[in-house]
């Protein structure tokens, strides 16, 4: 908390009086999400949380993303979207391709990334012409730090990571652990055993971005304090000297089936069709499989997944990202990576469902039929599963996901590992290693066969954390209190500036 002068105390008394009269001036906050679903969706949900507290929120994004957001968040007098043009022509992209999830290959990925760097001038111009009380920006826009300093306004950072993952990243950096295939992360509250080595170039990029995060007035975390744990919140603040605000799980603002179904992009499957299929299944009988929008497995890996889940004997919903640029393929061509007769034995007999494209994940996870989630451990997916009380089968691929896996399996014991050991910098492209069908079948059976003490214990812990997540987001819960504290601190900062 800030030290207050007598002059500031008088101003705060005046604010308290206005509070009582219901006339207090709302904050004007700009949110700048990065152009990838795993970053944009949670940050825009967090923006909605501020708007629901009657603060004036502006989300700054590009036209195509604005269209998607306009359908999935409640635009009103407190929440609006400001668009800046996306530089498609400058980088050689077709119109409408404005998100990393639209990349069809490494070249497209590079072009989209380059385009996001060109967004600085139009965003900066808008912010300078209409200065807000605070900017909340994704850490992949590090230039916002200089802009906020220039305008002398607070900046809060967001990166879509768990605080645990940031603590792990910082510890690996401090001890230069980039060479061992297996190692224990030193200095953390728990003994965390890693079975894969982070790519050095990726780690150095994340570490540089975090240096800019630590210069901000605080980091906003799409999580609740009880999942990261008080021990990691204290560790973070002690080792970095930086403030973290847990405001999640942001997905819990979606309460109705329709609100859950509309989160993110347009689903390729109808809500009624999806619900009807799930409604026909017993509780905890369905395995949900999804590796996010930025992870595209090669055909040989998809084949092993199909063999593994079929061998497990479980019913399943499997989300496979549509291969961009190949939407016109026949059904036979789209399924060429499946074992012979797989669709006849599973899909046609209603034992399984394959969704090719975007799925209503929050809605699926919240259904009682879903008993486990095979996931890439992207933080968005992880916290959605935790919120629904669903245990996980962890299969990290890139980014900070291998750290998230350890929070899930070693620290909170709400999942089991499939045995992935190849840590990539990105989710697209060929891989040296394939996770075999035997490993996949074994991991599925550990959670889904039931009756075992291990599975029952994991399921119990998952349910408990689901309850804690819901409580955190409710009035009086930890995340609800943190949001109140952030708003109060920002108002004090604004009023102090007005007094200068």
DSSP string, 322-340: --TT-TT--HHHHTTTSPT
Q: Tell me: pLDDT of 306 over 90.
A: yes
Q: What is the pLDDT of residue 118?
A: 95
Among 41-45, 269-273, 306-310, 462-466, whose mean pLDDT is lowest?
A: 269-273
Phi and psi at residue 23, to the nearest 5°: -115, 10
Q: Are residues 170 and 292 in the same domain?
A: no
Q: Are residues 22 and 159 in the same domain?
A: yes
Q: Are residues 132 and 239 in the same domain?
A: yes
pLDDT in tens, 179-220: 667 788 989 999 999 988 888 888 889 999 999 999 999 999
Q: What is the pLDDT of residue 21?
A: 41
21 is a domain residue: yes
1 is a domain residue: no
Q: Are residues 167 and 298 in the same domain?
A: no
pLDDT in tens, 105-123: 788 888 998 999 999 999 9
493 is a domain residue: yes
375 is a domain residue: yes
Q: Tell me: pLDDT of 444 over 70.
A: yes
For residue 276, CA distances in Å to 116, 496, 497 come to: 40, 56, 56
Q: Are residues 245 and 274 in the same domain?
A: no
Based on its alpha-carbon atoms, the radius of gyration of the chain, rounded to whole angstroms, reads: 23
pLDDT band at 7 (very low <50, low <70, confident <90, very high): very low
pLDDT in tens, 10-39: 444 444 444 444 457 999 999 999 998 889
List 45, 138, 145, 228, catalytic entry: 138
Q: Tell me: pLDDT of 3 over 50.
A: no
Among 293-307, 458-472, 478-492, whose mean pLDDT is lowest?
A: 293-307
C-alpha span between 45 and 36 (Å, rounded): 14
Q: What is the pLDDT of residue 498?
A: 72
What does the mean pLDDT of the chain come to?
88
Q: Tell me: pLDDT of 250 over 70.
A: yes
Rounded mean pLDDT of 165-170? Answer: 95
122 is a domain residue: yes
Q: What is the pLDDT of residue 496?
A: 84
Q: What is the pLDDT of residue 4?
A: 44
- Number of structural domains (the chain) is 2
Report percent pLDDT > 90 for the chain.
67
pLDDT in tens, 44-87: 999 999 999 999 999 999 999 998 888 878 888 899 999 999 99
C-alpha span between 47 and 494 (Å, rounded): 19
C-alpha span between 58 and 75 (Å, rounded): 10
Three-state DSSP state, 407: helix
Rounded mean pLDDT of 472-496? Answer: 95
Q: Are residues 223 and 239 in the same domain?
A: yes
Q: Are residues 93 and 118 in the same domain?
A: yes
Q: Are residues 39 and 178 in the same domain?
A: yes
Whether 489 sits among the annotated catalytic residues: the reply is no
Q: What is the pLDDT of residue 265?
A: 63
Q: Are residues 88 and 232 in the same domain?
A: yes
For residue 177, what is the domain's CATH number? Answer: 3.40.50.2000
| E-only strand ranges, 237-396 | 244-246, 286-290, 315-320, 352-356, 370-375, 392-394
Whether 138 sits among the annotated catalytic residues: the reply is yes
Q: Tell me: pLDDT of 272 over 90.
A: no
Q: Are residues 127 and 218 in the same domain?
A: yes
Top pLDDT among 130 and 321 is at 130
C-alpha span between 138 and 159 (Å, rounded): 5
Q: What is the pLDDT of residue 329?
A: 52
Q: What is the pLDDT of residue 486?
A: 97
Q: Are residues 464 and 356 in the same domain?
A: yes
442: domain range? 259-470
Q: What is the pLDDT of residue 8?
A: 40
List 4, 6, 19, 39, catalytic entry: 39
pTM reported for the whole predicted model: 0.89
Q: What is the pLDDT of residue 332?
A: 54
Helix spans in 376-477 (H): 379-387, 401-406, 437-448, 453-473
pLDDT in tens, 380-431: 999 999 999 999 999 999 999 999 999 999 999 999 999 999 998 887 777 8
Q: What is the pLDDT of residue 148?
A: 96
Top pLDDT among 353 and 499 is at 353
C-alpha span between 245 and 223 (Å, rounded): 9
330 is a domain residue: yes
What token pair was written down for 127? 């912010």
Q: Are residues 248 and 300 in the same domain?
A: no
Rounded mean pLDDT of 248-259? Answer: 80
Rounded mean pLDDT of 253-271? Answer: 70
State the Cα angle at 218 between 212 and 219, rounded to 5°.
80
Q: Tell me: pLDDT of 131 over 70.
A: yes
């Amino acid at each position: 908390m800030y030290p207050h002068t007598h002059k500031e105390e008088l101003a705060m008394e005046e604010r308290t009086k206005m509070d009582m009269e219901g006339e207090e001036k709302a904050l004007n906050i700009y949110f700048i999400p990065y152009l990838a679903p795993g970053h944009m969706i949670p940050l825009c949900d967090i923006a909605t949380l501020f708007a629901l507290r009657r603060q004036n929120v502006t989300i700054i994004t590009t036209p195509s993303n604005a269209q998607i957001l306009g359908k999935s968040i409640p635009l009103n007098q407190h929440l609006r979207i400001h668009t800046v043009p996306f530089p498609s022509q400058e980088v050689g992209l077709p119109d409408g391709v404005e998100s990393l999830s639209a990349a069809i290959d490494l070249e497209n990925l590079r072009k989209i990334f380059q385009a996001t760097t060109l967004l600085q001038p139009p965003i900066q111009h808008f912010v300078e012409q209409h200065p807000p009380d605070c900017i909340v920006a994704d850490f992949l826009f590090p230039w916002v730090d200089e802009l906020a300093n220039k305008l002398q306004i607070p900046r809060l950072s967001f990166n879509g990571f768990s605080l645990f993952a940031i603590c792990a990243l910082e510890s690996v950096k401090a001890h230069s652990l980039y060479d061992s295939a297996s190692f224990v992360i030193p200095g953390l509250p728990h003994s965390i055993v890693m079975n894969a080595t982070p790519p050095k170039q990726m780690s150095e990029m994340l570490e540089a971005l975090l240096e800019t995060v630590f210069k901000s007035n605080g980091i906003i975390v799409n999580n609740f304090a009880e999942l990261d744990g008080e021990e990691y919140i204290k560790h973070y603040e002690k080792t970095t000297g930086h403030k973290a605000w847990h405001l999640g799980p942001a997905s819990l603002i979606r309460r109705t089936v329709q609100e859950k179904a509309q989160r993110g992009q347009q689903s390729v499957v109808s809500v009624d069709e999806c619900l009807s299929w799930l409604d026909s299944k017993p509780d905890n009988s369905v395995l949900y499989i999804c590796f996010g929008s930025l992870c595209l497995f090669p055909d040989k890996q998809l084949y092993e997944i199909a063999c593994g889940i079929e061998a497990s004997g479980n019913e399943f919903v499997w989300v496979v990202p549509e291969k961009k640029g190949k939407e016109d393929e026949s059904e036979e061509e789209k399924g060429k990576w499946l074992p012979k007769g797989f669709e006849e034995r599973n899909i046609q007999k209603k034992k399984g469902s394959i969704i090719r494209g975007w799925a209503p994940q929050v809605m699926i996870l919240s259904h009682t039929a879903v008993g486990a989630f095979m996931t890439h451990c992207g933080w968005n997916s992880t916290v959605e599963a935790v919120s629904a009380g669903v245990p996980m089968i962890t299969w990290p691929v890139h980014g900070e996901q291998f750290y998230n896996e350890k929070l899930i399996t070693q620290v909170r014991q709400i999942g089991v590992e499939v045995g992935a050991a190849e840590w990539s910098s990105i989710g697209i492209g060929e891989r040296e290693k394939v996770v075999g069908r035997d490993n996949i079948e074994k991991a599925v059976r550990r959670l889904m066969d039931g009756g075992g003490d291990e599975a029952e214990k994991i399921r119990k812990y998952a349910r408990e954390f689901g309850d804690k997540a819901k409580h955190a987001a409710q009035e009086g819960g930890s995340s609800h209190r943190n949001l109140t504290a952030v708003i109060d601190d920002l108002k004090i900062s604004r009023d102090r500036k007005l007094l200068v």
